[in-house]
A and B are shown apart, each in its own frame.
Chain A
Amino acid sequence: MTATLDAPRSKPAPRRTNWEKWGWIYMRASGVVLVVLIFGHLFVNLYAGEGVKAIDFGFVAGKWASPFWQWYDAALLWLALIHGSNGMRTIVNDYSTGPRLNTWLKRAIFVSTVLLILLGTLVIFTFDPCPTGTAADLLPSFCAAR
């Protein structure tokens, strides 16, 4: 009887895509970009020019008339929402011990994130402050139709 094994306990864990690793990398990569985007966003909206008093419908419309701010806000939306929902997933994994509650909470986070990202992206890129065919008294003052 031989008591020698060729490679005891040397079998590596089954190979599958490791989402935890990519999640960890994503939190840090998006975090670095978010610092820049968030402080840029806060600076432009709250401080530059007339500061916070300048924010109104026209201010937002003005920003989204420029592709630069469209892409800036889209990047902020995508990065922050995925970052935030992945962070929420981490917290759910920490605190919801029951497997069913855990699954449902994570599904709820996923669905709301996808919904918010799609709606947000739609608004950023299709926003039109002066839609044609709208009653003039509903339009903001800077529209040509008024």
Chain B
Amino acid sequence: MSTITVEAAQGSALESEMEEAPPGSFVVTLIIRRFIPELDEEPRWQDFDVRVLPTDRILDALHKIKWEQDGSLTFRRSCAHGICGSDAMRINGRNRLACKTLIKDLDPSQPIYVEAIKGLPLEKDLIVDMEPFFESYRQIQPFLQASGSPVRERTQTVAARERFDDTTKCILCAACTSSCPVFWTDGQYFGPAAIVNAHRFIFDDRDEAAQVRLDILNDKEGVWRCRTTFNCSEACPRGIEVTKAIAEVKQAVLRGRP
């Protein structure tokens, strides 16, 4: 009996050692822009050394910091698999989802800078107030508007579905809008995400309110503020061709129909 106990104890000791330094792991420095409204007057940069594997994601590193080093570190995440859109943040100066950014795809020999997305009001650490973002999303009426009662499926040809396929992929993470220099100037611009989601319905041939949405976006703060900077397309974690979608909405406004 006693031998078994000793063996088990040895095994778990080894295990915890393995966990501390798994083969292939290394220590990376994360420099995180912290802001705790109760304590800080201004945001401050704080660095953390974390042992990671090259295939770990920034989200894993943040978890390690929160669970093992500093429980006050605050960030949003839910699905951890690139679906819910909660964890867009600025990683080494680029808007990315923490849960889709592998350590090995950055340069782990250098410190990795992590901060909240820009443009929206900073609430705490990596969390911003998303309300202005969702408000402009709501304004473009992001729901199907079709007459007739929905007694059976509203069918659609494959080609007609293809027309807006790209913009159906949006997860509302705000990576695009908060990477847009026009949005940064005064935050009044509708922003790429709202236009992407308008595109999704404007070019849906089952929808009947395209004209309404084109009118909404033919506004002082609408599509014409876009200066084709391409930051949004570069930022989108779903690979949506955001700038192209905006250009297609501009063309539709000029034509006066989708």
Residues of A within 8 A of B (CB): 9-10, 12-13, 18, 20-21, 23-25, 94-95, 97
Q: In whole angstroms, what is the CA distance A94 to B187 when docked?
A: 10
Contact A21 B186 (CB under 8 A): no
Q: In the assembled complex, which residues on chain B have CB atoms less than 8 Å from the CB atom of A97? A: 186
Question: Hey, what's the 0/1 contact readout for B183-223 against A, CB within 8 Å counting as 1?
Answer: 00110000000000000000000000101100110111010
Q: In whole angstroms, what is the CA distance A94 to B181 when docked?
A: 9
Contact B253 A94 (CB under 8 A): no
Contact A12 B215 (CB under 8 A): yes
Contact A20 B182 (CB under 8 A): no
Q: In whole angstroms, what is the CA distance A20 to B253 when docked?
A: 12
Cβ contacts A to B, 22 pairs, < 8 Å: A10-B145, A10-B209, A12-B212, A12-B215, A12-B216, A13-B216, A13-B218, A18-B218, A20-B218, A20-B219, A20-B222, A20-B224, A20-B225, A21-B253, A21-B254, A24-B224, A24-B250, A25-B254, A94-B185, A94-B186, A95-B185, A97-B186
Q: In whole angstroms, what is the CA distance A129 to B216 when docked?
A: 55
Q: In the assembled complex, which residues on chain A have CB atoms less than 8 Å from the CB atom of B216? A: 12-13
Measured CB to CB, the closest approach of chain A to B249, in angstroms, equals: 12
B141 touches A (CB below 8 Å): yes
Q: A21-B224, A94-B182 are in contact. Are A13 and B254 (CB under 8 A)?
A: no
- Chain A: which residue is nearest B226 at the CB level? A24
Interface residues on B, range: 10 to 19
Q: In the assembled complex, which residues on chain B have CB atoms less than 8 Å from the CB atom of A13? A: 215-216, 218-219
Contact A23 B185 (CB under 8 A): no
Measured CB to CB, the closest approach of chain B to A4, in angstroms, equals: 13
Q: In the assembled complex, which residues on chain A have CB atoms less than 8 Å from the CB atom of B253? A: 21
Contact B224 A12 (CB under 8 A): no
Measured CB to CB, the closest approach of chain A to B146, in angstroms, equals: 13
Q: In the assembled complex, which residues on chain B have CB atoms less than 8 Å from the CB atom of A95? A: 185
- Chain B: which residue is nearest A95 at the CB level? B185
Q: In the assembled complex, which residues on chain A have CB atoms less than 8 Å from the CB atom of B220? A: 20
Measured CB to CB, the closest approach of chain B to A19, in angstroms, equals: 8
Q: In whole angstroms, what is the CA distance A12 to B212 when docked?
A: 5
Measured CB to CB, the closest approach of chain B to A92, in angstroms, equals: 11
Q: In whole angstroms, what is the CA distance A90 to B141 when docked?
A: 28
Q: In whole angstroms, what is the CA distance A97 to B141 when docked?
A: 28
Q: In the assembled complex, which residues on chain A have CB atoms less than 8 Å from the CB atom of B250? A: 24
Question: Hey, what's the 0/1 contact readout for B235-256 against A, CB within 8 Å counting as 1?
Answer: 0000000000000001001100
Q: In whole angstroms, what is the CA distance A13 to B220 when docked?
A: 11
Q: In the assembled complex, which residues on chain B have CB atoms less than 8 Å from the CB atom of A24? A: 224, 250
Known: A13-B218, A24-B250. 8 other contacts (CB 8 A): A12-B212, A12-B215, A13-B219, A20-B219, A20-B222, A21-B253, A94-B182, A97-B186
Q: In the assembled complex, which residues on chain B have CB atoms less than 8 Å from the CB atom of A9? A: 141
Q: In whole angstroms, what is the CA distance A95 to B215 when docked?
A: 26
Measured CB to CB, the closest approach of chain B to A2, in angstroms, equals: 17
Q: In the assembled complex, which residues on chain A have CB atoms less than 8 Å from the CB atom of B222? A: 20
Q: In the assembled complex, which residues on chain B have CB atoms less than 8 Å from the CB atom of A10? A: 145, 209, 212
Contact A23 B215 (CB under 8 A): no
Q: In whole angstroms, what is the CA distance A25 to B224 when docked?
A: 10
Q: In the assembled complex, which residues on chain A have CB atoms less than 8 Å from the CB atom of B186? A: 94, 97
Q: In the assembled complex, which residues on chain A have CB atoms less than 8 Å from the CB atom of B219? A: 13, 20
- Chain B: which residue is nearest A9 at the CB level? B141
Measured CB to CB, the closest approach of chain A to B117, in angstroms, equals: 20
- Chain A: which residue is nearest B145 at the CB level? A10
10 A-B pairs with least C-beta separation = A20-B224, A94-B185, A12-B215, A24-B224, A13-B215, A20-B220, A12-B212, A18-B218, A97-B186, A10-B212
